[in-house]
Amino acid sequence: MRDALPAVRALEAELFGVASYGKIVPQAMLDLPRLGALNVHPSLLPLYRGATPLQSQLRDGVRESGVTIILMDAGMDTGDIVLQERAPIGERETYGELHDRFAALGAALLGRAVRAAAAGTLARTPQAGRASDAEIARTLTRPLRKEDLLVDWRRPAARVVDLVRSLAPQPGARALLEGESSPVKILEARVAASAEPGTLAVRCGDGAFVVVERLVPPSRGATSGAAYAAARGAAAKPR
């Protein structure tokens, strides 16, 4: 981005709009536009700062979030809030679904913020005091790593399902099952109190079951959990 400074400076832009850029924007770039740089962030800042706010909120089972527009500064999602709108997260909503819904909300809010900036009526609220330091630290997000994709069947079933939702449709949660040499990719799952007949169900650490409704076995195409279980002729067990 530093290499692009001369070209961007030549544009003489009055305002920047930034979305889905997971790195720090250099202060030298932020200093260029007269009205500042607006950033669209899909969380209720200052909670869930960082590169993967949507995935992290779904993984944590958050049921209400929203989109925040900030005036960017040199920190990571630390700039003053100019607009913020709350929105629910569906119990079975996936990352892909939430991404698209919040993208539309973010676009609408960004449009409002641009008009306010042009009119000189953009209000600014510092993030300080809106959440405790402990809450901010607990919800800080980072880019996904390979180990973040792996299902831990020792966890409660609801948390396993939340992980699956947070990674669907891409990159997909990975799970180790007996009889497979490589992890399967789980695309859709739900919690059940028992191992329902005809389903692909795995008992979790709290005694409840995760019913896998759609998955991608190694070197094969996507299939339903029921079809996978029928082909194997046995209940699935974690490996």
pLDDT, tens digit, for every residue of 85-133?
Answer: 999 999 999 999 999 999 999 999 999 999 999 999 999 999 999 999 9
Indicate if 164 and 102 belong to the same structural domain: no
Give the whole-number percent of the chain exceeding pLDDT 70.
97
Which residue stretches of the chain have pLDDT < 50? none
Question: What's the confidence (pLDDT) of residue 22?
Answer: 80
The domain in which residue 198 lies consists of 146-232
What's the total number of domains in the chain?
2
Question: What's the confidence (pLDDT) of residue 23?
Answer: 83
Indicate if 113 and 170 belong to the same structural domain: no
pTM for the full model? 0.94
**In a domain? residue 237:** no
Indicate if 151 and 135 belong to the same structural domain: no
Question: What's the confidence (pLDDT) of residue 1?
Answer: 85
171-186 pLDDT tens trace: 999 999 988 889 999 9
Indicate if 57 and 41 belong to the same structural domain: yes
Indicate if 73 and 155 belong to the same structural domain: no
Indicate if 74 and 23 belong to the same structural domain: yes
Question: What's the confidence (pLDDT) of residue 178?
Answer: 85
Using alpha carbons only, give the angle 55, 90, 114 rounded to the nearest 5 degrees. 70
- Residue 220 sits in a domain whose CATH number is 3.10.25.10
Indicate if 177 and 65 belong to the same structural domain: no
> Taking a C-beta distance cutoff of 8 angstroms, is the pair 58, 83 a contact?
no
